Amino acid sequence: MAIATQRFNFDTYAAPVRLTVAEVQTFLTTLGDPAQAAKVARMQQLQAALEARMRQINARSPAIDGKSTNPFVLAAYAELFDIASLKQVDDIVAAAKVFSSLETAAGRVVEDVVPPFYGWAQVDSPGHTLLSEIDSARVKDGTVELIALKSGPMCINDSMVSQIANAVSNNWIAWAENYGVNNVRYIVGMNYSTARNSNKKDWHIVRLAQERLAAQGLQITQGCSRPAPRRPIADAFFTAVSGDKTLRVETMQGRGLWAHVAGASDAFLQICWAMTKCLNPAAVAAGGNYTTGEMREIVAFSARVNAPNVSEAEKQWLVLFARHFVDVLEGEQPQPIVLI
């Protein structure tokens, strides 16, 4: 008889992450505050670093070759959206394929620029070596903090869960010795999004690492789940001890990750603002029709932000970027989806 897969309650683990109009307004207001000149200068440095690294991306033109495109998808798309000419097809394929190909490249930009900017060391190690499941590291107060950066909420698969959990359970003591400390904190971090939007594979890395360490006889001092009448309640981390060494393994996503990395609660807004300043943005009018259901909400939300020294276009792009780090924009009622 097959054993049913254990299911978990993620309600606490994946509580909604919110962004308010007041929060964005406060952040933008500080940009013109002389007392915040050093912070503004730092964001300008981050902008320059991101811009320089993004220009190194090799964005190749897509091909229509029976490998990169699907004729059945093209037919379905053309039927659904009344596509008539091959020029339209060419534009659509170019946008979709180039956008998709940038996912990995953009993840590398983040890895190369953002943690080092905030004082973390980049770890570039060959695969299947002691440090291969670590992208960034720092030693703070006798603890080595190690981050495995993942590009988005759906990018971790089952084989990666097992591989990373194995690395943690097999190597954590060697990591402590490598950095000359007794305490290890290992973070599975998502560059953007939230725990609610995650496929929860990041959490299952934590769970599986805990299970394997417990099987080795390690003392788990706090588990990553708690008993409950229906389903165990998932928590974001576990802690363990072995002799004089301690271990904490956890997940962080988007806003929470960068707050920890930078030591600033508004770090995700700093990053979003730096990306906004890389552009030459143009504003759109509020109340327009958009294909994506959230774009009208983003435009309306940004219009409610009172920041006279910031252009409407910059506010819109800032909120567009910031929307990827939260579940809810507070201060604007959701709008119905309008297809064009």
Question: How many whole angstroms separate alpha carbon 334 and alpha carbon 340?
Answer: 18
128 and 246 fall within a common domain = yes
Q: Which of 205, 228, 261 is the last residue of a domain?
A: 261
227 and 98 fall within a common domain = no
Distances (CA, A) of 319 to 119, 164, 177, 324, 328: 26, 33, 43, 9, 12
Q: Which of 215, 235, 261 is the last residue of a domain?
A: 261
The answer to whether residue 317 is domain-embedded is yes
The answer to whether residue 12 is domain-embedded is no
Phi, psi (degrees; rounded to nearest 5) at 135: -110, -35
127 and 96 fall within a common domain = no
Question: Does residue 259 carry a pLDDT above 60?
Answer: yes
247 and 132 fall within a common domain = yes
What pLDDT is attached to residue 65? 84
CB 50 within 8 A of CB 278: yes
The answer to whether residue 188 is domain-embedded is yes
244 and 137 fall within a common domain = yes
Write the Ramachandran bin of 269: left for phi over 0, alpha for psi from -120 to 50, otherwise beta: alpha
90 and 25 fall within a common domain = yes
Question: Does residue 4 carry a pLDDT above 60?
Answer: no
What pLDDT is attached to residue 61? 79
pLDDT-based confidence at residue 112 (cuts at 50, 70, 90)? very high
The answer to whether residue 106 is domain-embedded is yes
pTM of the entire structure? 0.92
User: How many domains, in total, are found in the chain?
Assistant: 2
Domain with 133 in it: 119-261
What pLDDT is attached to residue 56? 95
CATH number assigned to the domain comprising residue 154: 3.40.1560.10
Phi, psi (degrees; rounded to nearest 5) at 235: -120, 160
What lies within 8 Å, CB to CB, of 262 at 6+ separation is 118, 270
What lies within 8 Å, CB to CB, of 111 at 6+ separation is 122, 135, 136, 149
Q: Which of 244, 261, 278 is the last residue of a domain?
A: 261
Phi, psi (degrees; rounded to nearest 5) at 327: -95, -30
220 and 163 fall within a common domain = yes
The answer to whether residue 168 is domain-embedded is yes
